[in-house]
């Protein structure tokens, strides 16, 4: 790909109950993200970080926009509105928006911004389904809700900021799920989202699964959003995440999957936007998870061994 990639840092931790994931953008930059992207033949431009609101500044008299079971939802809304505007403006300039989280709630903003002027497909690389609503969430953490928000499920449907305007459930594919809450399972069985679990990867291999995910996300859409939650990988390979789940993809499987997205002939017109989320340096070992995040991002943009 020879497009300009605009790096948008979103050091958000409100969606994960404030546990250190706000240092993710800094750790990924420290792992030489820009140099690695340059090696992938894209031109990185770093916009720096968005400023995060202070929870203490919350006006106690203001109305709560949705159910009180979603923690820090007002702060998440504030950040996601700005992420969405930045992503939309970047696309309008003909550049590629790369959002660095922060916890996965920032994806509400990236999806909304990317789906403003185009029919959007999405591939969700994650251990988790992230499709709880404030009403179904067992934790109240908004990082477990971004797809419900983008699809306007539950009380998110009553808001104007959360739903992604041109994203349909039938254009979304998960790759690598292995932790699905009971209510999410019920919903996914009835929904049009495509679910590829770790068992599919075990049986068919990651490359074939990613091909199918790409087919889902590109069919009838104008472009694809890639959402990469680092807890998609096995915690032995990516320990620096807040909600690790055993049995994730290996280092090589992860590279193979993301390289498949940027096969030369299609990268430019298929990929539209990306977020890289859930890197938590406090829980990491020697910044290896952030380094992995930087490497995998370069693979997505076409960096190859040879
Ligand atoms: N982006 C993430 N790491 N999400 C974890 C979600 C965990 C769980 N399903 C919840 O709703 O709380
Ligand atoms: Mn996850
Ligand atoms: Mn996630």
DSSP string, 135-189: TT-SS--GGG-HHHHHTT-GGGGG-SSSS-TTEEEEEEEEEEE-B--HHHHHHHH
Look at residue 30 in the predicted model and tell me its pLDDT.
Answer: 98
Look at residue 272 in the predicted model and tell me its pLDDT.
Answer: 97
Does the Cβ of 133 fall within 6 Å of ligand 1? no
Give catalytic status of residue 229 as yes or no: yes
Look at residue 65 in the predicted model and tell me its pLDDT.
Answer: 45
Give catalytic status of residue 104 as yes or no: yes
Look at residue 244 in the predicted model and tell me its pLDDT.
Answer: 97
Q: Which residues pair with 98 in a beta bridge?
A: 7, 274
CA of 31 to the centre of ligand 3 (A): 21
Q: For tokens 């990924």, what's the residue? A: 28
Q: Is the pTM of this model over 0.90?
A: yes
Out of 49, 75, 231, 253, the active site residue is 231
CA of 148 to the centre of ligand 3 (A): 12
Give catalytic status of residue 278 as yes or no: yes
Give catalytic status of residue 143 as yes or no: yes
Q: Are 122 and 217 in contact (CB under 8 A)?
A: yes
Out of 49, 75, 78, 278, the active site residue is 278
Q: Which atom of ligand 1 is nearest to the CA of 184?
A: 9
Q: Which phi and psi angles does 253 have, rounded to 5°?
A: -60, -40
32 annotated as belonging to a binding site for a ligand: no
Q: Which atom of ligand 1 is nearest to the CA of 231?
A: 3
If 0-12 CB within 10 Å is exposed, 13-18 middle and 19+ buried, where does residue 259 land?
A: buried
Look at residue 269 in the predicted model and tell me its pLDDT.
Answer: 73
Look at residue 62 in the predicted model and tell me its pLDDT.
Answer: 55
Out of 22, 75, 126, 253, the active site residue is 126
Count helices and strands in the chain by DSSP H and E runs: 11, 8
CA of 60 to the centre of ligand 2 (A): 31
Look at residue 228 in the predicted model and tell me its pLDDT.
Answer: 99
Q: What is the pLDDT along the chain (306 residues), one digit of tens a residue?
A: 678 999 999 999 999 977 899 999 999 999 999 999 999 989 999 999 999 998 766 555 555 444 469 999 999 999 999 999 999 999 999 999 999 999 999 999 999 999 999 999 999 999 999 999 999 999 999 999 999 999 999 999 999 999 999 999 999 999 999 999 999 999 999 999 999 999 999 999 999 999 999 999 999 999 999 999 999 999 999 999 999 999 999 999 999 999 999 875 665 679 999 999 999 999 999 999 999 999 999 999 999 888
Does the Cβ of 132 fall within 6 Å of ligand 1? yes
């Amino acid at each position: 790909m020879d497009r300009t990639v605009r790096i948008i840092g979103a050091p958000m931790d409100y969606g994960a109950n404030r546990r250190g994931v706000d240092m993710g953008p800094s750790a990924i930059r420290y792992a030489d993200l820009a140099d690695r992207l340059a090696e992938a033949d894209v031109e990185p431009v770093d916009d720096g970080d968005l400023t995060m609101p202070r929870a203490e500044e919350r006006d106690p008299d203001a109305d709560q926009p949705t159910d009180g079971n979603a923690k820090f939802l007002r702060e998440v809304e504030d950040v996601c509105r700005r992420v969405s505007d930045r992503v939309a403006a970047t696309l309008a300039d003909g550049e590629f928006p790369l959002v660095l989280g922060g916890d996965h709630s920032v994806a509400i903003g990236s999806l909304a911004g990317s789906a403003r002027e185009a029919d959007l497909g999405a591939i969700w690389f994650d251990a988790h389904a992230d499709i709880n609503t404030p009403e179904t969430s067992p934790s109240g953490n908004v990082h477990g809700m971004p797809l419900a928000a983008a699809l306007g499920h539950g009380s998110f449907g009553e808001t104007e900021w959360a739903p992604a305007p041109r994203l349909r459930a039938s254009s979304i594919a998960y790759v690598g799920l292995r932790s699905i809450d009971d209510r999410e399972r019920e919903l996914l069985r009835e929904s049009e989202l495509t679910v590829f679990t770790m068992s599919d990867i075990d049986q068919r291999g990651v490359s074939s699964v990613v091909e199918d995910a790409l087919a889902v996300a590109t069919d009838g859409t104008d472009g694809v959003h890639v959402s990469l939650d680092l807890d998609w990988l096995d915690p032995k390979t990516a320990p620096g995440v807040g909600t690790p789940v055993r049995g994730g993809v290996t280092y090589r499987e992860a590279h193979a999957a993301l390289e498949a997205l940027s096969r030369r002939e299609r990268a430019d017109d298929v990929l539209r936007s990306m977020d890289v989320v859930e890197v938590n340096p406090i829980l990491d070992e020697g910044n290896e998870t952030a380094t992995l995040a930087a490497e995998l991002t370069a693979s997505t943009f076409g960096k190859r061994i040879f």
